[in-house]
Amino acid sequence: MSCNEFDWKGYALGELSKSDRARAEAHAAGCASCREELAATRLTLDALSTLREEEVPRRIAFVSDKVFEPRWWQRVFSFVSQPTFAAACVIAAAILLHGFASPKVDQQTVESIVTRAVADSRQKYERDMKAVLEQSQQEDRLAYIQNTGLVRQ
């Protein structure tokens, strides 16, 4: 009979902590019955290890087989849950939302806005041209005065 305080099965199975292992080894050095208990346990484990794993006699049906084939709703869910599909949905939703949220503009309003913009642009052009023309005339007048003054002198 081995000493009860030592777990020789746990020792042989590698389940003891480092300190418990060291304590058990120190004890076994001076205890013949514990050495015997450990030897018998190891012999049993060695005998058990002679049992070899067997090959699987025929292959386990894989997912590609009929039995694993996903149902239509599983396939749809699988497709819908993909990140690229989700991203495409978000973009499409954003475009639709923007379309609905923006104020509606009818054709007449658009035409009046365009007409006003064209008129504004034409007025601005005419103003600019007039200013350029006036500045040019002013410069001509000054040049004439200067030239005639020189002639008089």
Q: Footprint of another protein on this chain (CB under 8 A)?
A: 1, 9-10, 13, 15, 33, 36-37, 39-41, 43-45, 47-64, 67-68, 70, 75, 78, 82
Main-chain dihedrals φ then ψ at residue 81, nearest 5 degrees:
-85, 0
Q: Which of 43, 49, 8 is nearest to 25 (CA)?
A: 8
Closer to another protein at the Cβ: 39 or 90? Answer: 39
- CB of residue 102 to another protein, shortest distance in Å: 38
The Cα–Cα gap between 137 and 148 comes to: 16
Hey, is 66 helix, strand or coil? helix
Closer residue to another protein (CB): 89 or 145? 89
Give whichever of 47 and 105 is closer to another protein, judged by the CB atom. Answer: 47
Q: To the nearest whole angstrom, how small is the minimum distance from the Cβ of residue 47 to another protein?
A: 4
Least distance CB 13 / another protein (angstroms): 7
Q: How far is the CB of 38 from another protein (least distance, A)?
A: 10
Q: Which is nearer to another protein, 75 or 122 (CB)?
A: 75
Contacts of 128 (CB under 8 A, 6+ apart): none
- What are the contacts of 11-16 at 24+ separation with CB within 8 A? 11/38, 12/38, 12/41, 12/42, 12/45, 13/45
